[in-house]
Amino acid sequence: MKQSILRNNKFRYLLNTLAVVLLYLLIIFLTSGGILNRYQSNMFIQIGYNIILAVSLNLSCGFLGQLPLGHAGFMSVGAYASALFSMAVDLPVYIEFPAALLIGGIAAGITGIIIGLPALRLRGDYLAIITLGFGEIIRVVILNLKFTGGAFGLRGIEKHSSISWVFLCTVITIFVIHTLLKSRHGRAVISIREDEIAAEASGISLTYYKTVTFAISAFFAGVAGGLYAHYLCILDPSNFGFMKSVEILVMVVLGGLGSIIGSVVSASVLTVIPELLRSFADYRMVIYSLLLIIVMIFKPSGLFGRYDFSLGPAIDSAFRRIRGLILRKGGAKNK
Amino acid sequence: MTILNQIINGIQIGSIYALVALGYTMVYGIVKLINFAHGEIIMVGSYFTWYTMSRLGAPAWAAVLGAVVFCAVLGMVIEKVAYKPLRNYARISLLITAIGVSFFLQNAVQLIFKATPRMFQNIFPGSLKLGGMVFSMSAVVTIVVSVILMIGLSLLVKNTKIGKAMRAVSEDKDTAQLMGINVDHTISFTFGLGSGLAAIAAVLYCSSFYQIEPTMGSMLGLKAFVAAVLGGIGSISGAVLGGFVIGIAESLTKGYISSALADAIVFGILIVVLIIKPSGILGRPENEKV
């Protein structure tokens, strides 16, 4: 009986919504209840946009099976577009900020289509190289444009990214990408990862799905860029170099290619670890890189592999396990 | 500066790119890995030469020889420790490990020698007058040494036993093993050879640009890699051609268009070539099998 309730879709939506609200209340309690200081609270914002970056890259990397190395380029397009918009208009925050984020996302998405159409004709390492090239070109172009502030960076962006906004965006990103992957289109995307030739033979349009997935991935990277811009209030092109793309890729691969929960956990951990290691500031990057090599050597599929977590079945199996324990105990007593 | 000078400059930096690109292309040909740590090997080689010359007071030839041996051993050790355990896993894990190694080398050197750039003394002072034109000695040495090394390398790959083994392993690892080739030794040798070339490239680079820092390897490595892909990755003559094309394009852009846009133009050339001919200028197209 319990099984049927937990497998029921409506009930599961309710359960997930409840869990998200509880998590939000917990974060708000921790940050404004005086338990965490301002510095520690701000880390939730960093965790938030890093999760969005990692999950969106996982879509094109882990689920579509391509290897793009230019994610920071999309992030920078989104960051600059949304920052320039919010600096130009003067509206109430609850209209201006979502609109700015949306514009950032759309700008990045369009860039994704422009880059994706030629780049996705190539595969494997060549795709990696060509996206890397595009990422660097985006950075150099931003560096040389007048209205982006060039090498001095873009200053005077209003600080809009609060914990609530970032939390909302993170939840929406994960929800959209998760439901997309569970849909018919998601199965088409995954089938491309498994075998391109077989997918094409089954009537799946490779160009269409690759480009659209790439654009969605870029869109969310742009949104994350918008959050980043309105959190730091200064944009510097040198922060969006090749190393930033690699940093995001590391989050995805460490968590597990094709595991959303993996990306969420590893983005959170990899945001917090460098801060925890701050007291060993000199050694921290050395430790970080050694950690990366060791995890890869001993668990090449990433910490979570392709495992994905969902609340309903997890509670279900937990219940069953508890019931099994009680029944076994009861059986032992009867004897 | 005349256009001829710009081209000579381009050939000088291009031959350094070509030497580094040879390392990328050999490693890629044999284990299908974009060895991101290769750029860092150049950086380590530069620091080794700088340290032995200016701190230990060694003569230049000893420092260069030491750097070549040190980098070759370092390359082989990296392969044994970090890449070999992952040889049969997904290529992306190997790629991430390579990125990890590159991070590690960069930060380890930064920890030991600090992040401030160090000045490098000019090993090849003086200049050479030839037919009314003046060439700096470092340019002449760079071009001559690189050309000799490239010819030597292609002779090695074509005519020696180990060269034959390298070609066989890059064609088909399993079959090569069945024919009695020691695959591990061959891969190890390839890494050592590539890293040794990188060390020489490091010395040549330092003698023309006089300055070293822990992050110098990443952009140099990236451009050399672009050169390797441009020429057709896996092909030795392609790497050389790609190196010269990138070097001359960069030098002409810096001289006549804008030095800020040089990187963008280099990557732009790469993208155009990859879209028109995805396997590179001299690369062989790969057939797809079901």
DSSP A44-89: HHHHHHHHHHHHHHHIIIIIS------HHHHHHHHHHHHHHHHHH-
Reported ipTM: the value is 0.81
The alpha carbon of residue B93 is apart from the nearest alpha carbon of chain A, in Å, by 6
Select from B92, B95, B279 the residue whose CB has the most chain A CBs within 10 Å, as the one to mutate to test that interface. Answer: B92
Lowest mean pLDDT among A63-67, B15-19, B146-150: A63-67
- B129: part of which helix (H) or strand (E)? strand B127-130
Q: List chain A domain ranges.
A: 39-241
State whether residue B119 sits within 8 Å of chain A by CB.
Answer: no
| Structure tokens belonging to residue A194 | 């498994």
What's the length of chain B?
290
Asked if B260 lies within 8 A of A140 by C-beta distance, the reply is yes
State how far residue B160 is from chain A, nearest Cα, in angstroms: 30
Backbone φ, ψ for residue B125 (5° rounding): -75, 170
**What integer pLDDT is reported at residue B31 of this predicted model?**
86
Q: Within the 257-286 window of chain A, which residues sit less than 8 Å (CB to CB) from chain B?
A: 257, 282-283, 285-286
Long-range CB contacts for residues B209-213, cutoff 8 Å, separation at least 24: B209/B120, B210/B119, B210/B120, B210/B121, B210/B122, B211/B117, B211/B118, B211/B119, B211/B120, B212/B43, B212/B46, B212/B47, B212/B50, B212/B117, B212/B118, B212/B120, B213/B115, B213/B116, B213/B117, B213/B118
Set of chain A residues whose Cβ sits within 8 Å of the Cβ of B85:
297
Return left, alpha or beta for A34; rule: phi > 0 is left, psi -120 to 50 is alpha, else beta.
left
Q: Do B86 and A129 touch (CB under 8 A)?
A: no
**Is A126 near chain B, with CB under 8 Å?**
yes
* pLDDT score, position A1: 45
pLDDT tens track for B236-269: 889 999 999 999 999 999 888 887 788 888 888 8
Chains A & B: contacts with CB separation below 8 Å = 114
pLDDT band of residue B162 (cuts 50, 70, 90) is very high
Could A128 and B104 be called an inter-chain contact, meaning their C-beta atoms sit closer than 8 Å?
A: no
Q: A203 in helix, strand or coil?
A: coil
Average pLDDT over residues B18-35: 89
Give the rounded percent of residues in chain B with a pLDDT score beyond 90: 37
Say whether pLDDT at B198 is over 90.
Answer: yes
Q: Is A238 on the interface with B (CB under 8 A)?
A: no
Classify burial at A263, counting beta carbons within 10 Å of its beta carbon; exposed 0-12, middle 13-18, buried 19 or more: buried
Cβ contacts (< 8 Å) between B103 and chain A: which residues?
285, 288-289, 292
Q: Which residues of B touch A134 (CB under 8 A)?
A: 267, 271
Tell me, yes or no, if A141 comes closer than 8 A to chain B by beta carbon: yes
Residue B4 pLDDT > 70: yes
pLDDT value at position A6?
62
> Which residues of A, range 175-234, sit inside 8 Å of B by Cβ?
197
B258 touches chain A (CB under 8 A): yes
Angle separating helix axes A38-58 and A242-255, nearest 10 degrees: 80
Q: Where are the domains of chain B?
A: 15-216
**Beta bridge partners of residue B136, listed in sequence order:** B127
Q: Is B264 close to A140, i.e. CB distance below 8 A?
A: yes
Distance from CA of A291 to the nearest CA of B (A): 8
Name the residue in chain A with its Cα closest to that of B290.
A197
pLDDT recorded at residue A74: 95
For residue A13, the model assigns a pLDDT of: 83
- Test A126 with B229 for CB contact under 8 angstroms: yes
d(CA A145, CA A183): 41
Q: Judge contact between A111 and A219, C-beta under 8 A.
A: no
**Could you give the maximum distance between any two Cα atoms of chain B, in Å?**
61
**Picking from A32-46, A194-208, B54-68, B163-177, which range would have the lowest pLDDT averaged per residue?**
A32-46
Query: Alpha-carbon distance A244 to A265, whole Å?
Result: 19
> How distant is the Cα of B177 from the closest Cα of chain A, in angstroms?
24
Q: How far is A70 from chain B (nearest CA, A)?
A: 13
| Chain B residues with CB-CB distance to A66 below 8 A | none
The pLDDT of residue B289 is 54
Average pLDDT over residues B96-113: 89
Residues of chain A with pLDDT under 50: 1, 335
